[in-house]
Amino acid sequence: MTAITERTVVGVVGAGAMGAGIAQVAAQRGHAVVLADAFPAALARAREGHAKAMAREVEKGRLARDAADAVLARITYVEGVTPAALRAFEPCGVVIEAIVEDLAVKRALFRDLETEVAKDAILATNTSSLSIAAIAGACAHAERVVGLHFFNPAPVMPLVEVIPAITTAPAVTDAAKALAERWLKVVVVAADTPGFIVNRVARPFYGEALRIAEERIADPATIDWAMKEHGKFKMGPFELMDFIGNDVNYAVTCSVYEGMFQDPRYRPSLIQRRLVEAGLLGRKTGRGHYDYRADAVLPEPSRHQATGRQIVERILAMLVNEAVEAVRLGIASPHDIELAMLRGVNYPKGLLAWGDEIGPRHVLETLESLQAEYVEDRYRPSPLLRRIVRDGGRLLP
């Protein structure tokens, strides 16, 4: 495999928000970029978005006009993802896929891509929750396929998860890490399991908030207020779901749930399913958990201090438990789990350190109380959490 340098041509398939953002990052770091999409309108939006982004950089004094123009000139826009169109990727040393989260579609693309690029080119997928091994399985040379998961917006968000499949060559993993670091990203390595680090560990932030709302313990406005006021999160779970898009958040939840053999920890919510069915996807459609239309009045939370603290305690116990379980199962190192949640979703504290601050015994007792009340495996404590409490140890080594 040829080493990736600034002279390496980078290919990106998919010109939506993620793909366009990744292409911009690569071009700003000096690479020639080939960006393709099946839809001309998506390419037009990407081109327009790149021009606006560079204009902002110039306006803010971060780039000279000629440097901004050079970034734009490095991006070639290709219409189509047919085998004929994919020939444009022949000079690429790495190609990053950022298309729809559909395994069959991704496998077909990788099968076609493999025949058009050099034998030593790396093929990466930006999937947020699908199996890297399953995508790589479509290729004759699965050893060169790796997960390279950026967060939206890619030019702004610092974290990249590198996910080797069981078939990925170690040299490919190392090259993917080096590439993301060259692009000044914070890199963590995750096992090829549903949701990787962030989308797995963060599931209770949304799922448990939805459960609390389903049970009418508190409404979304109150839950969001509690998580911001007492938990110090920058956004509440319902605000964040509306920002991400309920369709996107629901799809990731379903993917993790099915990928984990319907483990009740990750069960989707009927509230969110109904919103998706109704097309109430959040900010992008004007309505979601909240109404964002011009004449709408946002609901006031019930600022009951005791209830707020109970909400935070319940959701946080689930989050800490999920982080501990990720350590137990070798999803990532404790350091990378902390880093991923701090830099990928901007949590106020790393979950393992936060659990130590609360006290592992208190986290365990909260979960045991919930499990006794609901008689559900959803609230089962991690065996590692039990061992740590028994031995008087700490969650963060």
Helix (H, G, I), strand (E, B) or coil at 105: helix
Token pair 């891509």: residue: 113
Candidates 126, 129, 131, 199; catalytic one: 199
Joined together, the tokens standing for residue 13 give 């398939």
Q: Can 128 be counted among the known catalytic residues?
A: yes
Candidates 126, 128, 246, 249; catalytic one: 128
Q: Can 199 be counted among the known catalytic residues?
A: yes
DSSP 154: T
Strands of the chain, DSSP E: 9-13, 33-37, 75-79, 92-97, 122-125, 145-150, 159-164, 186-189
Q: Can 48 be counted among the known catalytic residues?
A: no
Q: Phi-psi category of 232—alpha, beta or left, where left has phi over 0 and alpha has psi -120 to 50?
A: left
Q: Rounded CA gap, 75 and 61, in Å?
A: 22
Say how many C-beta atoms besides its own lie within 10 A of residue 170's C-beta. Answer: 9
Strands of 178-333, DSSP E: 186-189
Candidates 31, 114, 116, 149; catalytic one: 149
Q: Can 214 be counted among the known catalytic residues?
A: no
Helix (H, G, I), strand (E, B) or coil at 168: coil
Candidates 57, 114, 161, 322; catalytic one: 161
Q: Which residues contact 282 (CB under 8 A, 6 or more apart)?
A: 241, 242, 243, 244, 245, 246, 288, 289, 292
Return the closest-CA partner of residue 236 out of 245, 247, 227: 227
Letter string b/e over residues 81-90, b meaning 16 or more CB atoms within 10 A of that residue's CB: beeebbebbe
> Could you give the residue numbers annotated as active site?
128, 149, 161, 199
